[in-house]
Amino acid sequence: MIVSFLKMRVRVLHHDHCFDGAASAAYFTRFTREKFFPDAEYLYTGMMHTAAQSFPEELFDGDENAIVDFKYAPTEKLTWWFDHHQSAFLSPADAAHFESRAWPHKFFDPRYKSCTKFIADIAREKFGFQAPDLADLVHWADIIDGAQYASAQEAVELKSPATQLVLVIEAAKGSETVHRIIRMMTEQPLDAIAADPAIRAQFEPLYEAHRASMDIIGSRAKLVGDVVFFDLSELEMDGYNKFVPYYLFPQAVYTVSILNASFRTKISIGSNPWSPSEPVHNLATLCERYGGGGHPRVGAISLKKGEIEEARRIAQEVISALNR
């Protein structure tokens, strides 16, 4: 008789093309693999915010299913959840589902700068788990997702291994590279990952494109009161380094941009971490008026792909609100 022993499967849904999303998935993997599921197979699914956000049941195909650094899903199949976004719930009903009971493995705290640091603290305080060798990963996730760079130059010139990995994670096509980096992050230091020949081969052309995007933004951006505004919708760009506007316009307090990405039209809204005057608007709350969300200092609004004129109309309303 042949007996088949199938490996336990842990499905991890994470914010895709985001350093904190990748680092959160890596820290969660290390934590739960060592404390709960030593022989499990870990599988990853990158999630992106869309105009009609949904969580089909087929996403949750593991024996254990986790979401890290992304919105809450009100399904009984979800067994682990960590998030730190103000806009963590798609609806009041979703929030009510989360608050309906004391979940043993679901955690939410929007006070945290990064989800990675949140997971690390919960793992230590509630489950007695620590990973000293991942301290640098937690440190950089907090800097990167909390926009706590020392200067715009540090964020834009990409001289450190962590900032180089930000570029690869955010700009690489598809999710395969991100998932490879997640697996490397569970065990390897950031400098070793950034120096990996396969990662380096992706970084070099992406860095050239990053330099070119700085020239494009510089040629199109204009300062409207306290706001740097630029429209890249005709260029089919999926993203850009969000600190470039402050590198080019250090006097700006906010930035508003329009992108026509591969799967959505996106309005990005941010605030200058090194602003000469303190930002006073909660950007997550502002974005929520249009179905978006984020953090108090950075947010986004997703529309259906091709809704350029609607994006331009909203962008002008947002600029007016930020200048009031």
180 and 51, same structural domain? yes
Structural domain contains residue 106: yes
Structural domain contains residue 214: no
Structural domain contains residue 64: yes
Which domain-ending residue is among 133, 162, 197?
197
Cα-Cα end-to-end distance for the chain: 76
Does residue 238 carry a pLDDT above 90?
A: no
Does residue 3 carry a pLDDT above 50?
A: no
Provide the token pair at 103: 């979940």
171 and 43, same structural domain? yes
Residue 273's pLDDT band (cuts 50, 70, 90): very high
- The pTM score is 0.88
Q: What is the pLDDT of residues 12-32, one digit of tens each?
A: 999 999 999 999 999 999 999
Q: What is the pLDDT of residues 56-76, one digit of tens each?
A: 999 999 999 999 999 999 999
Q: Beta 41-47 vs 9-15: how paired, if at all?
A: parallel
178 and 137, same structural domain? yes
Percent of the chain past pLDDT 70, that is, above it, reads: 98
Residues 316 and 58: their CA atoms lie apart, in Å, by: 39
- Please report which helix (H) or strand (E) contains residue 270, including its range: strand 265-271
27 and 162, same structural domain? yes
Give the count of domains, the chain: 2
Q: Is the distance from CB of 247 to CB of 156 less than 8 angstroms?
A: yes
Cβ burial 68-77 (10 Å sphere, 16+ → b, else e): bbbbbbbeee
Closest C-alpha among 121, 151, 153 to residue 138: 121
161 and 32, same structural domain? yes
Q: Is the distance from CB of 283 to CB of 277 less than 8 angstroms?
A: no
277 and 191, same structural domain? no
Structural domain contains residue 207: no
DSSP string, 114-172: -HHHHHHHHHHHHH----GGGHHHHHHHHHHHTT--S-HHHHHH--SHHHHHHHHHHHS
Residues 184 and 201: their CA atoms lie apart, in Å, by: 16
231 and 185, same structural domain? no
Q: What is the pLDDT of residues 160-175, one digit of tens each?
A: 999 999 999 999 988 9
Structural domain contains residue 305: yes
193 and 47, same structural domain? yes
Does residue 1 carry a pLDDT above 60?
A: no
Domain of residue 59: give its range.
9-197
Question: Could you tell me the CATH number of the domain that includes residue 258?
Answer: 3.10.310.30
Compute the mean pLDDT over every residue in the chain, rounded to the nearest whole number. Answer: 94
295 and 262, same structural domain? yes
The set of residues, in sequence order, having a beta carbon less than 8 Å from that of 274 and lying 6+ positions away, is 151, 152, 246, 250
The per-residue pLDDT for 5 is 57
Q: What is the pLDDT of residues 294-317, one digit of tens each?
A: 889 999 999 999 999 999 999 999
283 and 160, same structural domain? no
46 and 181, same structural domain? yes
Structural domain contains residue 164: yes
Q: What is the pLDDT of residues 95-130, one digit of tens each?
A: 999 999 999 999 999 999 999 999 999 999 999 999
Residue 232's pLDDT band (cuts 50, 70, 90): very high
